[in-house]
């Protein structure tokens, strides 16, 4: 199969959906002429024109809210937010309007709205341009939270989001944009929500890895294998809905669970997964559930400080080895 990058896979998903459905359009800051500050929408303006690849003012609450209005009258907008940190500028629209519109209307409001957002560190982008915002929005029923970790999933999950019926926040990790991998060319290749992927099979410890931490977890698993510890790495792919079944099945096999995510450790996405395991799988567990997340301080600017705050491969190996110390 041909290989393309995560960034190209996202663009391909958008282009294919825009070709098959005239109600799909993209808007966001600098998505048109600029091609997106991350280059994800490069070239799309030429194919689809200014109406459907729409540069917006720097006005997140306004244009995310406009996405809701357009969705409610029959469009399928894709709205790009440049940094996950900026989602909070649109907090009311996302949390009080978009998430709740269907429910409050007795199921009648249709909100097929995809919010694509760049997330994560490092890069000395400091405290307002580095955050992993997934768990902020897990507490709002009505949203779906998607975290693709490789090119094929990025394409397939984005197509599911665009074709779906519900508002989705789609978190694209900036350190993954350049990663290449095999991606199906089939127009109808979609990846369903709520299905975790076993990235690596193993028998001693389950590492549930979110976003870019999948790569770090695989490195940790390689190192641990040399020491005779067999790790299973699971990528939930979507946090809402969460594939509890696959996660619990793996933990039932390994009896040990480590959850790795780049968000702050406290109340990050792993906190919810740990709670699920404590409630529904405690009988399988032979030790504590360890969470590996960023330290609970704002993400610092200095590379030395930033490196200290963010979770790394060694944090994962240390947590795993703690079961035998």
For the annotated catalytic residues, the residue numbers are: 60, 129
| Residue nearer to other proteins on the CB measure, 51 or 226 | 51
Neighbour tally for 228: CB within 10 Å: 8
| Residue nearer to other proteins on the CB measure, 73 or 304 | 73
Using the rule CB under 8 A, is 200 a contact of other proteins?
A: no
Q: Which stretch binds other proteins (CB under 8 A): 12-20, 104-112, 281-289, 300-308?
A: 104-112
Kindly give the interhelix angle for 313-321 and 213-226, rounded to the nearest 10 degrees. 50
Angle ∠(50,53,57) on CA atoms, nearest 5: 85
Using the rule CB under 8 A, is 204 a contact of other proteins?
A: no
Q: Which stretch binds other proteins (CB under 8 A): 109-117, 129-137, 217-225, 304-312?
A: 109-117
Binding characters for other proteins, 282-321, by CB under 8 A (x = yes): ----------------------------------------
C-alpha to C-alpha distance for 87 and 102, rounded to whole angstroms: 21
Q: Which stretch binds other proteins (CB under 8 A): 102-110, 146-154, 211-219, 289-297?
A: 102-110
In the complex, least distance from residue 22 CB atom to other proteins, rounded to whole angstroms: 9
Contact pick of 33, 107, 283, 304 for other proteins (by CB under 8 A): 107
Note whether 212 and 199 are within 8 A (CB). no
C-alpha to C-alpha distance for 221 and 198, rounded to whole angstroms: 13
In the complex, least distance from residue 271 CB atom to other proteins, rounded to whole angstroms: 15
Closest CA to 7 of 185, 176, 248: 176
User: How many residues bind to other proteins according to rule CB under 8 A?
Assistant: 48
Using the rule CB under 8 A, is 240 a contact of other proteins?
A: yes
Note whether 54 and 27 are within 8 A (CB). yes
**Sequence-ordered alpha helix ranges (H) in 105-212:** 134-138, 151-163
Kindly give the interhelix angle for 151-163 and 6-20, rounded to the nearest 10 degrees. 30
Element (H, E) at 60: helix 60-72
Closest CA to 78 of 179, 164, 152: 164
Angle ∠(42,48,49) on CA atoms, nearest 5: 95
C-alpha to C-alpha distance for 118 and 315, rounded to whole angstroms: 24
- What is the footprint of other proteins within residues 48-77 (CB under 8 A)? 51-52, 56-57, 59, 61-75, 77
| Residue nearer to other proteins on the CB measure, 36 or 142 | 142
Using the rule CB under 8 A, is 231 a contact of other proteins?
A: no
| Residue nearer to other proteins on the CB measure, 42 or 75 | 75
- What is the footprint of other proteins within residues 159-178 (CB under 8 A)? 164-166
- Give the interface with other proteins as residue ranges (CB under 8 A): 25, 51-52, 56-57, 59, 61-75, 77, 92-93, 96-97, 101-110, 112, 141-142, 144, 164-166, 193-194, 240-242
């Amino acid at each position: 199969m041909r290989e393309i990058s995560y960034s190209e896979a996202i663009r391909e998903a958008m282009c294919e959906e825009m070709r098959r459905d005239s109600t799909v359009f993209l808007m966001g800051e600098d998505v048109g002429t600029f091609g997106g500050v991350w280059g994800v929408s490069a070239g799309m303006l030429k194919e689809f024109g200014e109406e459907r690849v729409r540069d917006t003012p720097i006005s997140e609450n306004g244009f995310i809210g406009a996405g809701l209005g357009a969705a409610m009258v029959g469009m399928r907008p894709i709205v790009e937010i440049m940094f996950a940190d900026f989602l909070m500028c649109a907090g009311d629209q996302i949390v009080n309007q978009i998430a709740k519109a269907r429910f409050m209307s007795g199921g009648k409001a249709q909100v097929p709205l995809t919010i694509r957002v760049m997330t994560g560190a490092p890069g000395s982008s400091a405290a307002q341009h580095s955050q992993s915002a997934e768990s902020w929005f897990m507490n709002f029923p009505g949203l779906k939270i998607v975290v693709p970790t490789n090119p094929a999933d990025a394409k397939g999950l984005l197509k599911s989001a665009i074709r779906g019926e519900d508002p989705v926040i789609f978190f694209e990790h900036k350190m993954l944009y350049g990663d290449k991998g095999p991606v199906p060319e089939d127009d109808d290749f979609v990846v369903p929500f709520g299905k975790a992927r076993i990235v690596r099979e193993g028998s001693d410890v389950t590492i549930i890895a979110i976003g870019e931490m999948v790569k770090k977890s695989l490195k940790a698993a390689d190192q641990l294998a040399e020491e005779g510890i067999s790790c299973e790495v699971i990528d939930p792919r979507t946090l809402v809905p969460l594939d509890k079944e696959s996660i619990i099945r793996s933990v039932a096999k390994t009896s040990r669970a480590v959850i790795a995510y780049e968000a702050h450790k406290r109340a990050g996405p792993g906190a919810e997964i740990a709670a699920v395991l404590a409630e529904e799988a405690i009988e399988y567990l032979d030790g504590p559930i360890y969470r590996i997340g960023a330290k609970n301080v704002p993400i610092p600017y200095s590379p030395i400080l930033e490196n200290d705050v963010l979770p790394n491969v060694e944090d994962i190996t240390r947590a795993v080895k703690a079961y035998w110390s």
